[in-house]
Amino acid sequence: MNKYQGRQTVANASFFSTFISTTKDGKKRPSIRFYRYFTMILIHLLFVLSFVADIQVIEGDITGSRMLGFHLADPFITTEVILSRGQLPINLLIGTFTILAFYMLFAGRAFCSWVCPYNFFGEFAERLNAKLVSKKIIKKREFDTKIRYIFLIFFWILSLVSGYLIFEIFNVVGIVSRFIIYGYSAAIWWAVLVFLAEVFFSRRFWCRYVCPIGTLYSLLSKFRAIKVSWNKEKCDHCAVCMDVCIVPKVLEITKSKNKDIPGEKFSIISGDCTMCGRCIDVCHQDALNYENRLKKLL
């Protein structure tokens, strides 16, 4: 992919070309997307090897696991357990606080783009949706992202009232993770249905409007150390970054709020940013980049 020779949008960039970036001086190097996919595959490869070969590096699945004997747990499932059981299991809390500390301090909502196994299928569905919209086969549909807060509270209430982890029945993240690690189960057809909804109904419908896991991370990660920064002086407002963004409103808000404010660089402070780096990969003006704000926070 050479972002300096053409607009690299979701619809027109070929899938495999997005794993290699061409620099201004013509050199080839792995794109941020390459490193994201490498991370997703490596994590689940370790899960599979622990299950199949009993190497015991990281056992379980993406919603709850044990790495070298140390417990890790998805924060949302922990809230479900507390609400449904009225208990505070120590191992669960330790695993949750470990995960929360990492994402809150450093990576924000990066789980959604760097770890979540459904993201691979979500990005593929996104490409198909963009092509169908460009050919006017289907309509472009967008909704108010505040809907996700309704789903977040709704699943919490269900856990509290029923005493069960209701969301885990529909949790595409866990379903896909267990499918990869342990093999077929009937639950995978729900993930297929979600995939088809994202292809034919609304782009990234699950990630943008439904998934409470991503919503919870976004609420807790506003003050993360690593953020995407926008250089206003370099930007030519071509909008390619917003075309490829999973949650384009984070770029829209950053640009609209700072367009008349003096200064060159502004951080994308919204917790919704998944740190996927797709905007950085396609920006032909190099106006977007990662920024480490750890020293400023300290």
**pLDDT score of 298:** 52
pLDDT-above-90 percentage for the chain = 46
Q: How far apart are CA 221 and CA 218, in angstroms?
A: 5
- Residue 220: pLDDT band (50, 70, 90) is confident
What pLDDT band is residue 197 in, cutting at 50, 70 and 90?
very high
Please tell me which of 109-113, 174-178, 227-231, 284-288 the model is most confident about, judged by mean pLDDT. Answer: 174-178
| Average predicted confidence (pLDDT) for the chain | 88
What is the per-residue pLDDT across 45-86, written as a single tens digit (0 to 9) for each? 999 999 988 888 888 899 888 887 788 888 999 999 999 988
What's the mean pLDDT in 21-36?
A: 89
Pairing relationship of beta strands 288-292 and 58-61 according to DSSP bridges: unpaired
Residue 296 has pLDDT above 70, yes or no: no
Q: What's the pLDDT at 266?
A: 83
CA 241/CA 238 separation, integer angstroms: 8
Q: Give the separation between CA 266 and CA 293, rounded to whole angstroms.
A: 12
Position with higher pLDDT, 146 vs 8: 146
Lowest-confidence region among 42-51, 102-111, 114-123: 102-111
pLDDT of 10 > 80? The answer is no
Average pLDDT over residues 192-212: 95
pLDDT value at residue 79 = 92
The string of pLDDT tens digits covering residues 144-179 is: 989 999 999 999 999 999 999 999 999 999 999 999
Distance CA 181, CA 175 (A): 10
Query: SS3 for the chain, per residue?
Result: CCCCCCCCCCCCCCCHHHHEEECCCCCEEECHHHHHHHHHHHHHHHHHHHHHCCCCCEEEECCEEEECCEEEECHHHHHHHHHHHCCCCHHHHHHHHHHHHHHHHHHHHHHHHHHCCHHHHHHHHHHHHHHHHHCCCCCCCCCCCCHHHHHHHHHHHHHHHHCCCCHHHHCHHHHHHHHHHHCCCCCHHHHHHHHHHHHHCCCCHHHHHHCHHHHHHHHHCCCCCEEEEEECCCCCCCCHHHHHCCCCHHHHHHHHHHCCCCCCEEECCCCCCCCCCHHHHHCCCCCEEEEECHHHHC
Instruction: Give residue 257's pLDDT.
Output: 78
Q: Which of 204, 208, 207 is nearest to 133 (CA)?
A: 204
> Quick one: angle between helices 32-52 and 172-182, nearest 10?
60
